[in-house]
């Protein structure tokens, strides 16, 4: 199956002309390289990607496949790493790589890049018949028509739904033999009708050859002969001439016209020889491109080795400078050693003075704490006496009285509250008050009077507290 060829973007002409300052109808490889070198230093990621793409197209048109693939991959790599946001150009890179890998018989990689371009087009909302047919062509090259035909069908439906036959003439020309060979005549006839409706100047170069194949398979031999003879007489492509001659030879042989069959048989042999020469030339160009590519790679490796050696020399120089700098620092340190020792001695004296002041401050704090504890203990005894009177019914308690009780017991027994919270997990306010009353020696009846709760409730709380606290309640 013939692979579709892409058109070199017109941007390369504008790009190289703007950089070189001259008008160039066909940019040279050198000017494209200059564009790449310029944008690698001064351009954005999108501009570098476009420059790589243009250079790759230049190599592709000169049959230098290795370098074309390399630069298409460089362009795609910028998008894959997220440096460039030009998804449309990334998709075109995938399409170009699909074509180049197919031309090099690397059909697996051709399919991989076709599927990548298809997914990108789908994700970005730019999915068109072009990318669908890329995948279909890649599957057909692998002779996997089962998975290839659905993509061809989608491409056909896309063209029909959007009525975009003029924009997709090359795809329609590729589809027509596919459906004709598989006897899917409804779609084949529809495609043939669309191709015939396209103005002559917009038809693809292989229009007559494609229509000749269609009419031959349809059984309309006269129409097939007319289109194939037009291809043989007028088409400049030796490959299409050779294919047309082979088909004409078969058709005239089927009609029993031996003279014309022999004529086109000789024409086929002659044109086929020319095709073989063209293919050998293209293979030679590819081989030369591969040789130049490998030679440039070797040069790049040599430059990299030189760069590495230069880096090592710079590192050694930097290390020597660092050693000299270190020696200077040591010399400076020795000269200033006495000054540093004096400073250290003074710092030691200051530190000792600070430690003495901290010790004196700690002692003063301890004396103050003892004085406050004595005062708190006196207040605590007064508060406890007040609660004992309240237990005899001689006074009533307020919320502030309970707070003073807690403070008094905490002053006399600093660890008591922590022990209560540690041993009694779900501690309510009534249970906490009962703990503090037990700590100051209150009996169950006294606790009943103070908290105004039934005897059974007090008994239950006291038992629960005694089981949890043990000997921590002892005065």
> Of 271, 286, 303, which residue is a domain's last?
303
221-225, 277-281, 348-352, 399-403: which is most confident = 221-225
- Residue 259 in any domain: the answer is yes
Please name the helix (run of DSSP H) or strand (run of DSSP E) that holds residue 435, with its range, or none. Answer: helix 429-439
CA-angle at 110, arms to 104 and 115, nearest 5°: 170
Using CB atoms within 10 A of its CB, is residue 318 exposed (0-12), middle (13-18) or buried (19+)? exposed
Same domain, 293 and 377: no
Same domain, 299 and 182: yes
Residue 12: pLDDT above 80? no
The answer to whether residues 142 and 259 belong to one domain is yes
Domain membership of residue 168 (yes or no) is yes
Q: How confident is the model at residue 294 (pLDDT cuts 50, 70, 90)?
A: low
Q: What is the mean pLDDT of residues 360-382?
A: 56
Residue with tokens 């058109």: 7
Based on the fold, state whether residues 75 and 157 are members of the same structural domain. Answer: yes
Per-residue pLDDT, 229: 92
User: 12 and 32 in contact (C-beta within 8 Å)?
Assistant: yes
pLDDT at 213 over 90: yes
Distance CA 177, CA 189 (A): 11
Task: Using the 3D structure, point to which of 303, 319, 334 is the last residue of a domain.
Answer: 303
Supply the range of the domain harboring residue 409. 350-473
Q: What is the mean pLDDT of residues 310-334?
A: 85
Answer whether residue 439 shows pLDDT above 90.
Answer: no
pLDDT at 13: 42
DSSP 381-402: HHHHHHHHHHHTTSS---HHHH
Is there a domain that residue 291 lies in?
yes
What is the predicted pLDDT for the residue at 108? 92
Mean pLDDT of the chain: 81
Report the pLDDT value the prediction gives residue 285, as an integer from 0 to 100.
52
The predicted structure's pLDDT at residue 379: 61
Q: Which of 161, 152, 106 is nearest to 130 (CA)?
A: 152
What are the distances in angstroms from CA 128 to CA 4, 44, 118?
A: 15, 28, 9
Structure confidence at residue 452 as a pLDDT band (50, 70, 90): confident
**Domain shared by 299 and 354, yes or no:** no
Number of folded domains that form the chain: 2
Residue 315: burial class (beta carbons within 10 Å; 0-12, 13-18, 19+) = exposed
Q: What is the DSSP string of 209-250?
A: HHHHHHHHHHT-HHHHHHHHHHHHHH---HHHHHHHHHHHHH
The domain that holds 194 is classified in CATH as 1.25.40.10
Domain match, 165 and 283 both: yes
Identify whether residues 297 and 356 lie together within a single domain. Answer: no
Task: Quote the CA–CA distance of 475 and 470 in Å, as a whole number.
Answer: 12
Per-residue pLDDT at 291: 54
Residue 320 lies in a domain: no
One DSSP character per residue, 241-307 reads: HHHHHHHHHHHHHHHT-HHHHHHHHHHHHHHHHHHHHHHHHHHHHHHHHHHHHHHHHHHHHHHHHHH
| CA angle, 166 then 221 then 204, to 5° | 20
Angle (CA) 392 397 401, round 5°: 120
Helix axes 258-335, 65-80, angle to 10 degrees: 50
- Domain contains 5: no
From 274, 303, 332, the end of a domain falls on 303
* Mean of pLDDT values over 144-155: 91
**Residue 312 placed within a domain:** no
**pLDDT digits over 411-430, tens only?**
888 888 888 888 888 888 88
163/241 same-domain check: yes
What gap in Å lies between CA 189 and CA 187, rounded to an integer? Answer: 5
Give the predicted TM-score (pTM) of the model.
0.54
- If asked whether residues 193 and 250 sit together in one domain, one would say yes
Is there a domain that residue 343 lies in? no
- Whether 283 and 200 map to the same domain: the answer is yes
* Candidate from 26-30, 269-273, 432-436, 454-458 with smallest mean pLDDT: 26-30
- Whether residue 218 is contained in a domain is answered as yes
Please give the pLDDT value at position 96: 92
**Cβ partners under 8 Å of residue 21, min gap 6:** none
Are 298 and 384 in the same domain?
no
**Predicted pLDDT at 272:** 85
């Amino acid at each position: 199956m013939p692979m579709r060829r892409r058109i070199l973007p017109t941007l390369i002409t504008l790009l190289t002309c703007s950089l070189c300052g001259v008008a160039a109808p066909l940019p040279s490889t050198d000017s494209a390289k200059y564009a790449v070198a310029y944008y690698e230093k001064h351009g954005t990621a999108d501009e570098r990607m476009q420059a790589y793409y243009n250079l790759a197209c230049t190599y592709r048109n000169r049959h230098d496949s290795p370098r074309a693939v390399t630069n298409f991959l460089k362009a795609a790599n910028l998008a894959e790493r997220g440096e460039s946001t030009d998804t449309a150009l990334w998709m075109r890179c995938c399409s170009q790589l699909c074509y180049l890998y197919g031309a090099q018989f690397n059909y697996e990689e051709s399919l991989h890049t076709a599927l990548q371009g298809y997914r990108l087009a789908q994700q970005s909302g730019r999915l068109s018949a072009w990318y669908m047919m890329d995948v279909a062509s890649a599957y057909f090259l692998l002779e996997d028509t089962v998975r290839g035909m659905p993509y061809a069908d989608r491409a056909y439906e896309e063209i029909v739904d959007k009525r975009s036959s003029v924009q997709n003439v090359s795809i329609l020309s590729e589809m027509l033999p596919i459906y004709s060979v598989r006897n899917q005549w409804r779609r084949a006839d529809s495609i043939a009708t669309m191709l015939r409706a396209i103005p002559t100047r917009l038809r693809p170069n292989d229009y007559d050859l494609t229509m000749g194949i269609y009419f031959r398979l349809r059984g309309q031999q006269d129409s097939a002969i007319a289109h194939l003879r037009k291809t043989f007489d007028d088409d400049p492509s030796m490959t299409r001439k050779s294919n047309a001659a082979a088909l004409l030879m078969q058709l005239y042989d089927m009609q029993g016209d031996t003279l014309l069959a022999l004529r086109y048989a000789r024409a086929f042999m002659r044109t086929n020889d020319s095709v073989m020469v063209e293919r050998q030339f293209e293979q030679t160009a590819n081989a030369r491109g591969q040789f130049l590519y490998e030679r440039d790679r070797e040069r790049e490796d040599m430059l990299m080795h030189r760069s590495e050696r230069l880096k090592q020399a710079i590192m050694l120089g930097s290390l020597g400078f660092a050693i000299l700098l270190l020696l200077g620092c040591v010399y400076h340190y020795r000269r200033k050693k006495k000054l540093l020792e004096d400073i250290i001695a003074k710092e030691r004296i200051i530190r000792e003075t600070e430690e003495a002041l901290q010790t004196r401050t700690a002692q003063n704090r301890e004396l103050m704490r003892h004085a406050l504890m004595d005062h708190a203990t006196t207040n605590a005894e007064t508060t406890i006496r007040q609660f004992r009177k309240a237990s005899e019914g001689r006074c009533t308690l307020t919320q502030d009285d309970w707070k003073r009780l807690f403070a008094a017991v905490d002053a006399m027994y600093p660890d008591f509250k922590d022990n209560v919270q540690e041993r009694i997990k779900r501690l309510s306010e009534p249970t906490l008050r009962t703990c503090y009353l037990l700590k100051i020696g209150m009996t169950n009846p006294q606790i009943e009077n103070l908290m105004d709760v039934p005897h059974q409730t007090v008994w239950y709380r006291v038992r629960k507290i005694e089981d949890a606290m043990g000997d921590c309640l002892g005065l």
